[in-house]
Amino acid sequence: MTLRSFSRQSLQLQFVALIGTFLVFCTIALVTMRSSLAEAQALEHARATAGTVEALGNWSSQYRGAWFLSEPMQAQVGDILDHGQAHTSVISPAANKASATVPSKGDVAQPDGDFHSKDPWHVQRTLSEVIERMGGGEQFRLTSDRLFDPRNPPNRFELTAIEHLRAEDHANAEYHEVSGDRLVYAKRVVVSATCLGCHDRAEKSPEKIRSKFTQGWGLKEGGFAGIVSVSVPIPASGAATVFQQMNWAAWFAVTGSLLTFGGLLYWLQVNVIHKAKVLKDYSQSLLDAKAGVKVARVDLDVDEHSSRNELHRLSVAIRALYRALLLAQADRV
């Protein structure tokens, strides 16, 4: 339908078509905005997670890792670099220090256990396993194309991110993609001075590192170390989810908007479309009237002469034109 043919349709049809198109585009815009906001929310979540993981790695790298105590009945602690035995000791509240004396009433006995040494990467992975077990759907890890542990190779996204971020020249460079209902994110990790304790040259690394790994050395301070890779679920953005998340204020705003829109439709129907139809029918009756036959007068308002309403003024103009035609016909006779 061309623009001219559309403009020749009834005002009611034009209005319904335009309003329908408007509502369709509004719906598309709202869905798109909701999806975009959900993705932005997931991205901020991934950034916060990556920052936490990087901070944890920097902290543990200051000490070339961390030691964890596990009691005999505790679950597996995962990969470790070294271990040591924790012996029974007694803490006396009175002495406020450890002693090897027989416990007395009020003393606290510490059970036997093992100390396990983990390097910064294992510390980060342990945290990842704990968070993943919490069931939030969040996953993260530290990886690189030059890594210590060959069991931790980068996947397709991480290889793409590494290639992209290696070329970046600032420390806070990041890269992300949307994969199905998840956002995958990578942040560039820069080699710090503390990293060189294990990643400078093999001969400068601790013996427990050299005995366990065969690669991962040769990094330079300020250079590219790898990436923090984070995968987080994108919050659902469907209509049902939106309705479930709406509070009373949101429902009040939606209800008010719908009532206002309904009032607009009613006003337009009564004050524009209906009155335009009345004027059309009145004009047609004037054209069809036989000579000498009076046509009932149509007034859209009690005092149309003083009204600023365009339709009221048009009604006045139609009657004035009709009177002028009657006078012209009388003069001819």
Q: What is the pLDDT of residues 101-124, one digit of tens each?
A: 444 545 455 556 677 777 777 788
Q: Which domain holds residue 286?
A: 247-332
Please indicate whether residue 299 or residue 80 has the higher confidence score (pLDDT).
299
Residue 9 inside a domain? The answer is: no
Residue 220 inside a domain? The answer is: yes
Distance of CA 21 to the CA centre of its chain: 27
Domain boundary among 194, 221, 240: 240
Distance of CA 265 to the CA centre of its chain: 34
Query: Are residues 263 and 302 both part of a single domain?
Result: yes
Q: What is the pTM of this model?
A: 0.60
Cβ atoms of residues 218 and 203 within 8 Å: no
CA distance 25 to 33: 12
Residue 103 inside a domain? The answer is: yes
Q: Is the pLDDT of residue 236 over 50?
A: yes
User: Domain tally for the chain?
Assistant: 3
Q: Mean pLDDT across the chain, nearest whole number? A: 77
Query: Are residues 52 and 182 both part of a single domain?
Result: yes
Q: Is the pLDDT of residue 93 over 60?
A: no
Q: What is the pLDDT, as a whole number, of residue 130?
A: 81
Query: Are residues 149 and 295 both part of a single domain?
Result: no
Per-residue confidence band for 185, with pLDDT thresholds at 50, 70 and 90 = very high
Q: What is the pLDDT, as a whole number, of residue 115?
A: 76
CA distance 300 to 287: 19
Domain boundary among 118, 134, 149: 118
Residue 258 inside a domain? The answer is: yes
Name residue, tokens 């961390």: 66
Domain boundary among 240, 263, 294: 240
